[in-house]
Amino acid sequence: MKSLIRWIGCPNWVEVAIALLAAGTTCLLLWVSFPPNQSPEAAYFFLLPAVAWFYRKPSYRSVIAVFLLTGYLMHMAIFFWLRNVALPALCAGVLLPTLYLLGWWLLARWTIPRSIAGNSLGRRLAGMFLLAAAWTVIEWLRCQFTLGFPWLPLAASQWQRPAILQIAPWTGAWAISFFLVFFNLAIGSYLHHLIVRRKGMQRGVLLSLCPDFYVAFGIFVGLFSVFLVTRPEAATREPMIRAGFVQPYLKDKWKPGRAAEHTETLRALTQILREPDLVLWPEASPPRGLARDREWIEALASETRRDFLFGVVTKREGASYNSVCLIRHDEGLAPAIYSKRVLVPFGEYVPFGFSWIPGLEKLVGPIGRFAAGDRPAVLPVRAGDRNMLVGPLICYEDIFPQLSRSTVQAGADFLFVSTNNAWFGEEGCAEQHAAHSVLRAVELRRPVLRCGNHGWSGWIDEYGNVPPVEDELDPGNSRNPLPLHVFFKDSWGTTRDSAWADKLTFYARHGDWFVYLCLAALFPAVLFLRKTPPAKS
């Protein structure tokens, strides 16, 4: 037992218990803040148990040990739906995000005793800025490489709190994550001030104040003020397109003998839609690919006199692509096709360097390896007598901000996410995935229409709201697409804010400048704090 305690890096079992309680509570609160748990306010204080423990200056070995354990269990809970595809993928995959965050926990252990636990306001603010910036940079780095998998940035916890998201058109969602970490640390500093720091000070009313907390609260007021200033006016909203969402819940899609059944399901659900301008089908919905299914889809479009926008497998020059195509009821297949640019590693392709592993099988969709598209595309759709450009994204591409940005820069009036969450059962994947679409809608001030094989299908306006849907075919019947995991098919009249038509947000034009600012400030902040010895416990 003593050897185990020494290995963990704690002097005794009491310290082991304190370490596990602090790290476990922090990870539990972080998990609770994410969908589908409906407790986004936990993101404002989830760091407090860990911060309190770091004030005690635990060993770095103990930080590694407890956050490897609790972080792994937290990510196991977040990604528990992945077991429906492959349990080994769940067990191995959740180690990666655990390791990404481990660097931040070690930096926090180094920083907090040198800054937030001290008496210097400047050093406390520098420490809070350093840690908030580091968290933001880690989230950004995960968007830059194959196995980064930037699922659920901290900002996604606020997907149903659009009032706090309205700075994103200038900074991207990065500033939301930055603020939440900064606010956590400011509360920690304030509690430390009340319990520890002011004991050695002379009495006085002003000594009860903690300026760094008021800085954080001022940032919160500033973010909420942006919401008040940028609220849309009812007069600027205009009809966009009446979209017919088909959520067919096609299971075992690639098994032999299911093609006829799936074809009939798509046909039947499409025919009961109520007067849409555009029919939306989810990712890879036609069961045999575009070449073999094109004829009957064109016939269905002609019969219903509706245009179809749908995900489908296409082939060009001997390669397979996960694509989105447009079929017009009067012209047939449109020439523009979008092919997925970021493929799912081990699901749609085997990353370079892993193909040598014997017996390595694809985890999702046994239909062969895909090739990646190399550019965004916008497809021309019709809404009555108006023409609009839709920017498709496929599967989990909406979790990568740079893909949505390039699509809007290409001229998209709205985004269309064609996805398939049916692989993962009726659990948290659908809500977690939809949270990213909310961030993209706000960042780029473009409505997002989502059509999933199962899970969250609906639309999100430019301000991150999921509007109640007033059915113009049945006045007074107002419905909301928030209920999840339903066998869903319907037509909704979507709208857009004309004030943003043909305009790009600051973030769409200038990209991740906020992250670059955070990145540039990391090294100077570390040098500044390096000269300060840790405060006494």
In a domain, 535, yes or no: no
- 408 with 521, same domain: the answer is no
In a domain, 484, yes or no: yes
What is the pTM for the complete model shown? 0.92
- Segment 414-431 shows an average pLDDT of 83
In a domain, 18, yes or no: yes
In a domain, 537, yes or no: no
d(CA 1, CA 376): 58
In a domain, 43, yes or no: yes
For residue 393, what pLDDT is reported?
A: 98
Tell me which of 362 and 142 has the higher pLDDT.
142
Q: Among 24-28, 140-144, 258-262, 460-464, which is the least confidently predicted range?
A: 258-262
For residue 75, what pLDDT is reported?
A: 96
In a domain, 509, yes or no: no
- 413 with 475, same domain: the answer is yes
- 253 with 135, same domain: the answer is no
In a domain, 281, yes or no: yes
In a domain, 266, yes or no: yes
Quote the mean pLDDT of the chain.
87
Name the H helices within 80-149.
87-93, 95-111, 121-141
Read off the pLDDT band of 219 (50, 70, 90): very high
d(CA 223, CA 166): 7
**Count of domains forming the chain:** 2
For residue 364, what pLDDT is reported?
A: 42
For residue 100, what pLDDT is reported?
A: 94
For residue 471, what pLDDT is reported?
A: 44
Read off the pLDDT band of 484 (50, 70, 90): very low
- 459 with 472, same domain: the answer is yes
Q: Give percent of the chain with pLDDT exceeding 70.
A: 86
- 294 with 213, same domain: the answer is no
Domain of 456: which CATH number? Answer: 3.60.110.10
For residue 365, what pLDDT is reported?
A: 44
Within 8 A by CB and 6+ apart from 399, the residues are 150, 151, 433, 436
For residue 281, what pLDDT is reported?
A: 95
Give Dmax (Cα) for the chain: 84
Each residue's pLDDT tens digit, 121-143: 899 999 999 999 999 999 999 99
Each residue's pLDDT tens digit, 188-204: 999 988 888 776 555 55
- 196 with 318, same domain: the answer is no
Each residue's pLDDT tens digit, 401-410: 999 999 999 9
Q: Which domain holds residue 484?
A: 235-504
- 385 with 520, same domain: the answer is no
- 199 with 249, same domain: the answer is no
- 265 with 169, same domain: the answer is no
- 132 with 220, same domain: the answer is yes
For residue 117, what pLDDT is reported?
A: 80
- 388 with 258, same domain: the answer is yes
Indicate if the pLDDT at residue 298 is higher than 90.
yes
For residue 1, what pLDDT is reported?
A: 56
- 143 with 181, same domain: the answer is yes
The torsion defined by the Cα of 504, 506, 509 and 511, in degrees rounded to 10, comes to: -130
One-letter amino acid of 535: A
Helix axes 13-33, 60-78, angle to 10 degrees: 40
